[in-house]
A and B are shown apart, each in its own frame.
Chain A
Amino acid sequence: MNATIEKDNRMRQTAVLQPAGGDRRLRLPERQPELTASVAVAHNAVAIKLGNSTIAMTTMSDGSPTDAGMTAGKPLKVSVAQVLIYELRVRDAMTRPPVTAGPGDSLRTIQHLMKTHRISGVPILQNGVPVGLVSIEDIINALDQGHVNEPAERWMTRNIVTLRDHFSLVRAVAEFDRHGFGRFPVLNSSGELVGVITRGDITACLMQQLEKRAEEAAAREAALFSGQTSDLEQTKSLVVQTEVKSGDYDNAGKISQRMRQILRARGVDPNIQRRAAIIAYEAEMNIIIHSIGGDLSIVISPGKVVIEAVDRGPGIENVDLAMQEGWSTAGPLAREMGFGAGMGLPNIKKCSDQFEIHSEMSVGTRLHCEVLLSQAAPPPQPGEPNEN
């Protein structure tokens, strides 16, 4: 990272993330094959973008972190920021081991160190204790004023501010904004110099974590759909299984869309396709809205589709009530998004050829639905006059 970039308060780094496993067959069709991610560490704020949407936004004031996402009423967007900015520590992002020099080393020597290691600041150690720092600005001044051959101790910055390696990155960004320095020496709990951190290190670390996450997600999806190449073999049973997280509205519907593609490829009647898709989508939404998390599994065999949704709780207090149209226990956020009409379970039942639900409080709910693929025409559904 060079000095000119570090002086800029708005740093930006963009990378194109390729999902792990370059094998095209494992990719989700009709999805963007690549993901553009960017992390911007700007004045008092860190924004993480995936494609066009900001997935995480965090601001700081006075070093005390507050979460912009929360106050803007979008708690869904916060989780990634919390993990990345709050959980990551200075020690995760810093450059180590630090390149150091002694007080007697000349500025010329330090300039060569900077050039060799492509760094922009060198802490000066005396008996293992940091006593100063020579930055690229000091070197430029030395060259300008002709004292580049003098020892570091004459020209180094003495009152250095250090960070501890256990500080969160959110605090580090706040410190950069507060002091306006390009870099901080990092000390461990024993006060020993263990690294140097720049804004560029933070950006790179966030990018790396983001890429890791994207790769993990891609690997999960690849594993999920690894049976894809044999989808068209009508005689084979295909299992699609995925974990569904509570509150994960952003990924809802992907499984049912994937199932639709398989059913379409197998030439299943469009009405039957839609019924199976509605069951899978509503079942997934139920886990997202009402449970603490669960699993959705879809088994597509030649004769039928079996959709099973199993969550880990809290359980439905009164299943008969839940089966009534219009009854809903959805919270305000879900309702705001147009969920919680109290029609989910009735919809699922209406679309199923076989429907079973068992729920136990503090254990969870198991939903088992079957849709027959071989039957000629499904019974007409109420409220669907246009479908045959």
Chain B
Amino acid sequence: MKTEKLKKLSSVLAAIKAEPLTNRAEADLTGCYISDLLSDVLAHASHGMLWITIQTHRNVISCATTKDIGAVLFVCGRKPDPGVVAEADAEGIVLLSTKLAAYEAAGKLWEAGLR
């Protein structure tokens, strides 16, 4: 295992004014990946990453679990159904929502040091 630069999720949360949706709202992040295509995330995201997407259905959780995604950030104010949040809680996946669009959120996260 090579050493990874881990970034605490809480240290970048304020930058994007994100609202935690799950009970757990802390994770060690290894980076960030933006995609709305699930197969693309399966292929190219790495474990521990923050995943930015507008997809809110339950397959996002399956995909995040499969890939050991650290946290999922829904942009443009999108929020999943309570059932999806409950599944994320059960699987230990952190879910967040921000009113920002993906581009703005990514910019602010980069500035906050999530690289």
CB distance from B113 to the nearest CB of A (A): 16
| A260 surroundings in chain B (CB, below 8 A) | 65-66
State in angstroms the CA–CA spacing of A341 and B37 once bound together: 6
Contact status B86-A52, CB under 8 Å = yes
| A281 surroundings in chain B (CB, below 8 A) | 42, 62-63, 66
Contact status B62-A343, CB under 8 Å = no
CB distance from B59 to the nearest CB of A (A): 6
| In the complex, residue of chain A having the shortest beta-carbon distance to the beta carbon of B5 | A386
State in angstroms the CA–CA spacing of A282 and B40 once bound together: 11
- Kindly specify which of B18-26, B43-51, B96-104 makes contact with the partner chain: B43-51
State in angstroms the CA–CA spacing of A342 and B42 once bound together: 12
| B4 surroundings in chain A (CB, below 8 A) | 386
Select B66's contact among A257, A343, A385, A387, beta carbons within 8 Å: A257
| A350 surroundings in chain B (CB, below 8 A) | 43
Q: Tell whether A388 pairs with B67 under 8 Å between CB atoms, given A53-B83, A252-B62, A343-B43.
A: no
Contact status B43-A253, CB under 8 Å = no
State in angstroms the CA–CA spacing of A263 and B72 once bound together: 24
Contact with A along B80-95 (1 / 0, CB 8 A): 0111001000110000
Contact status B46-A385, CB under 8 Å = yes
| In the complex, residue of chain A having the shortest beta-carbon distance to the beta carbon of B68 | A274
Q: Tell whether A52 pairs with B81 under 8 Å between CB atoms, given A253-B66, A260-B65, A386-B30.
A: yes
State in angstroms the CA–CA spacing of A237 and B68 once bound together: 25
Select B40's contact among A30, A254, A341, A385, beta carbons within 8 Å: A341
Select A337's contact among B44, B59, B86, beta carbons within 8 Å: B59
Asked if B12 lies at the interface with its beta carbon under 8 angstroms from chain A, I say no
State in angstroms the CA–CA spacing of A31 and B1 once bound together: 31
| B39 surroundings in chain A (CB, below 8 A) | 282, 285, 339, 341-344, 347
Residues of A within 8 A of B (CB-CB), count: 38
| Contact residues on B (Cβ < 8 Å of other chain), bracket | 35 or more
Contact status A256-B55, CB under 8 Å = no
Contact with B along A94-135 (1 / 0, CB 8 A): 000000000000000000000000000000000000000000
| A332 surroundings in chain B (CB, below 8 A) | none
| A31 surroundings in chain B (CB, below 8 A) | 90
Contact with B along A245-268 (1 / 0, CB 8 A): 000011011101100100000000
Asked if A32 lies at the interface with its beta carbon under 8 angstroms from chain B, I say yes
Contact status B90-A52, CB under 8 Å = no
| In the complex, residue of chain A having the shortest beta-carbon distance to the beta carbon of B58 | A250
Contact status B59-A253, CB under 8 Å = yes
| A384 surroundings in chain B (CB, below 8 A) | 44, 46
State in angstroms the CA–CA spacing of A254 and B63 once bound together: 11
| A341 surroundings in chain B (CB, below 8 A) | 37-40
State in angstroms the CA–CA spacing of A139 and B62 once bound together: 58
Asked if A369 lies at the interface with its beta carbon under 8 angstroms from chain B, I say no
Q: Tell whether A278 pairs with B46 under 8 Å between CB atoms, given A31-B90, A337-B59.
A: no
Contact status B90-A257, CB under 8 Å = no
Asked if A277 lies at the interface with its beta carbon under 8 angstroms from chain B, I say yes
State in angstroms the CA–CA spacing of A350 and B36 once bound together: 21
State in angstroms the CA–CA spacing of A256 and B67 once bound together: 11
State in angstroms the CA–CA spacing of A254 and B58 once bound together: 11
| In the complex, residue of chain A having the shortest beta-carbon distance to the beta carbon of B62 | A253
State in angstroms the CA–CA spacing of A52 and B89 once bound together: 14
State in angstroms the CA–CA spacing of A169 and B68 once bound together: 45
Contact status A338-B66, CB under 8 Å = no
| In the complex, residue of chain A having the shortest beta-carbon distance to the beta carbon of B57 | A337
State in angstroms the CA–CA spacing of A278 and B68 once bound together: 11
| B90 surroundings in chain A (CB, below 8 A) | 30-32
| B66 surroundings in chain A (CB, below 8 A) | 253, 256-257, 260, 274, 277-278, 281
Contact status A347-B43, CB under 8 Å = yes
State in angstroms the CA–CA spacing of A249 and B62 once bound together: 11
State in angstroms the CA–CA spacing of A257 and B4 once bound together: 25
| In the complex, residue of chain A having the shortest beta-carbon distance to the beta carbon of B92 | A30
| B2 surroundings in chain A (CB, below 8 A) | 388
> 25 pairs across A/B with beta carbons < 8 Å?
A30-B90, A32-B86, A52-B86, A250-B58, A253-B63, A253-B66, A257-B65, A270-B68, A274-B47, A274-B66, A277-B67, A278-B67, A282-B42, A337-B57, A338-B37, A339-B37, A343-B40, A343-B43, A344-B39, A347-B39, A350-B43, A384-B46, A385-B46, A386-B4, A386-B47
What would 16 more interface pairs be, CB under 8 Å, given A53-B83, A341-B39? A51-B83, A252-B62, A253-B59, A256-B62, A260-B66, A274-B66, A281-B63, A282-B42, A285-B38, A338-B36, A339-B38, A343-B37, A343-B43, A344-B39, A347-B42, A383-B44
What are the 5 closest A-B residue pairs judged by CB atoms, nearest first? A253-B62, A341-B37, A343-B39, A386-B46, A53-B83
